[in-house]
């Protein structure tokens, strides 16, 4: 960790960082920022799945069903093990499968990003690429689904970062500080 560099040279982290959290918790945005600032590689799971299937996430859900999509996620996680120095932006449902959590922990640290249902709604309200929220863009529905997932999210997490009302730099610095603290234990 001490050798972390901002210029893309060298290894920022001796493991992969898996960003987990509810839809709209900021995983994609933060992973892009980590790439820019710390020269890490990025694996954006939803985007990789879309490219490989040549379908959008919504189309995959509609044509093949959710279970098919969940298996694509699990297979991709296994493949990602071959990478290093990568920040992985996981789909929001990834921690719901125990096998996915085991896979992430093999060569990675798991960082949970959280935000209030109100913040989540604000961030997702204008997008149409999340089939699970498409007809449910309201605080009650988001709160309920978040509550159903909370335990699994928290069990999977090595560190937890609240993102409400924080800018990207603050969030990234918190991630790095908490990971460093973890490494020193």
Alpha carbon 121 to chain centroid, angstroms: 17
Q: Is 117 in the site for ligand S3P (CB under 6 A)?
A: no
- If residue 121 lies in a helix (H) or strand (E), which one and from where to where? helix 117-124
User: In the stretch 49-88, what mask flags binding to ligand S3P with x, by CB under 6 A?
Assistant: --------x-------------------------------
**How far from each other are the two terminal CA atoms of the chain, in whole angstroms?**
13
Q: Is 131 in the site for ligand S3P (CB under 6 A)?
A: yes
Q: Is 42 in the site for ligand S3P (CB under 6 A)?
A: no
State which of positions 88-107 bind ligand S3P (CB under 6 A).
91-93
In this chain, which of 38, 46, 100, 119 binds ligand S3P, going by CB under 6 A?
A: 46
State which of positions 137-156 bind ligand S3P (CB under 6 A).
none
Q: Is 130 in the site for ligand S3P (CB under 6 A)?
A: yes
Q: With contacts defined by CB under 6 A, how many residues of the chain interact with ligand S3P?
A: 10
Specify the residue for token string 């918190």.
174
Looking at 31-39, 128-136, 153-161, 169-177, which segment touches ligand S3P (CB under 6 A)? 128-136
> Which residues, in sequence order, are CB contacts of 142 under 8 Å at separation 6+?
22, 117, 120, 121, 133, 136
Beta strands in the chain, from DSSP E residues, in sequence order:
16-20, 41-44, 86-89, 108-114, 159-162
Q: What gap in Å lies between CA 14 and CA 10, rounded to an integer?
A: 10
Tokens at residue 133, please?
A: 């929220």
Binding site for ligand S3P (CB under 6 A): 23, 27, 46, 57, 91-93, 130-132
């Amino acid at each position: 960790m001490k050798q972390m560099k901002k210029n893309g040279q060298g290894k920022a982290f001796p493991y992969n960082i898996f960003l987990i959290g509810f839809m709209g918790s900021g995983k994609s945005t933060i992973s892009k920022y980590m790439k820019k600032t710390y020269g890490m590689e990025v694996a954006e799971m939803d985007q990789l799945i879309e490219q490989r299937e040549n379908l959008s996430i919504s189309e995959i859900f509609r044509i093949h069903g959710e279970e098919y999509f969940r298996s694509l996620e699990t297979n991709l996680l296994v493949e990602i093990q071959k990478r290093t120095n990568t920040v992985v932006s996981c789909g929001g449902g990834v921690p719901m499968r125990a096998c996915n959590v085991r896979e992430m922990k093999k060569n990675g640290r798991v960082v949970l990003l959280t935000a209030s249902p109100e913040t989540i709604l604000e961030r997702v309200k204008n997008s149409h690429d999340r089939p699970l929220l498409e007809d449910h863009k309201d605080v009650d529905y988001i709160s309920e689904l978040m509550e159903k997932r909370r335990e699994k999210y928290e069990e999977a997490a090595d560190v937890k970062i609240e993102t409400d009302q924080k800018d990207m730099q603050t969030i990234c610095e918190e991630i790095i500080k908490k990971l460093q603290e973890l490494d020193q234990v």
